[in-house]
Amino acid sequence: MKHLFLFNVLLIVTLVLVGCSEEIPDNDGEAEESSFSVYEDSKEADEVIEELGELSEPSEEYQIGVVLKTLSNEHWKEMKNGYEDAAEEYGVKIDVQAAETEDDLSGQLSIAETMLNKDYDAIAISPLSQSNLESAINLAKEKDVPVLNVDDSRVEDVDVFVGGDHSEMGNMAAEYMEDNIDEDADVAQIEGQSGSPAAELRSSGFEDTVEKSDNLSLEASQSADWDRLEALDTTTNILTSNPDIKAFYANNDTMALGVVEALENENALDDTMVIGTDGVPDAIQSIEDEKLTATVATFPYEMGFTATEMAIYLLEGEEIPNEVISKQLIIDKENKEEHFPD
Does 112 map to a domain? yes
Q: Is residue 300 a contact partner of residue 201, using CB atoms and an 8 Å limit? A: no
Give the span between the Cα atoms of 291 and 52, in whole angstroms.
42
Q: Are residues 119 and 215 in the same domain?
A: no
Amino acid identity at 44: E
Q: Are residues 179 and 241 in the same domain?
A: yes
Inside any domain, residue 180: yes
pLDDT at 84: 98
Q: Could you give the CA distance from residue 29 to residue 75 in angstroms, rounded to a whole number? A: 22
pLDDT tier at 296, thresholds 50, 70, 90? very high
Shared domain for 16 and 156, answered yes or no, is yes
Residue 38 has pLDDT above 70, yes or no: no
Residues 158 and 260 in one domain: no
In contact, 255 and 226? CB cutoff 8 Å: yes
Domain count, the chain: 2
Shared-domain flag, residues 23 and 150? yes
Judgement on whether residues 111 and 54 belong to the same structural domain of the protein: yes
Shared domain check, 132 and 31 = yes
Same domain, 148 and 288: no
Residue 135's SS3 state is helix
On whether residue 134 sits in a domain, the answer given is: yes
Specify whether 143 is located in the same domain as 228: no
Residues 126 and 68 in one domain: yes
Let me know: does 93 contact 125? Beta carbons within 8 Å: no
> Is residue 206 one of the residues assigned to a domain?
yes
Residue 297 pLDDT: 96
Top pLDDT among 237 and 103 is at 237
Same domain, 120 and 178: no
- Which CATH number does the domain housing residue 27 bear? 3.40.50.2300
Q: Which of 17-31, 63-77, 220-234 has the least mean pLDDT?
A: 17-31
291 belongs to a structural domain: yes
- In this structure, is the dihedral angle defined by the CA atoms of residues 193, 199, 204 and 205, taken in order, positive or negative? negative
Q: Which residues, at least 6 apart from 74, have a Cβ–Cβ distance to it below 8 Å?
A: 253, 254, 278, 280, 281, 282
Are the CB atoms for 115 and 143 separated by under 8 Å?
Answer: no
Which uninterrupted H or E stretch holds 185? strand 185-191
pLDDT for the residue numbered 13: 36
**How many C-beta atoms lie closer than 10 Å to residue 28's C-beta?**
7
* 157 located within any domain: yes
pLDDT band at 40 (very low <50, low <70, confident <90, very high): low
**Is residue 4 predicted with pLDDT exceeding 90?**
no
Task: Work out the average pLDDT over 87-104.
Answer: 95
328 — pLDDT class (breaks 50, 70, 90)? very high
Is the CB of residue 112 less than 8 Å from the CB of residue 79? no
Please give the Cα distance from 272 to 312 (Å, whole number): 45
User: Is residue 3 assigned to a domain?
Assistant: no
The parent domain of residue 42 ranges over: 11-164+299-339
Of 7-16, 114-123, 312-321, the poorest mean pLDDT is in 7-16
Q: What is the pTM of this model?
A: 0.77
Sequence-separated (6 or more) residues with CB below 8 Å from residue 65: 94, 95, 97, 112, 115, 116, 118, 120, 122, 123, 124
Round the average pLDDT of the chain to a whole number and report it: 88
Residue 4 placed within a domain:
no
Same domain (yes/no): 180, 307: no
Residue 23 has a pLDDT of: 36
> Rounded to whole angstroms, how far apart are CA atoms 89 and 100?
28
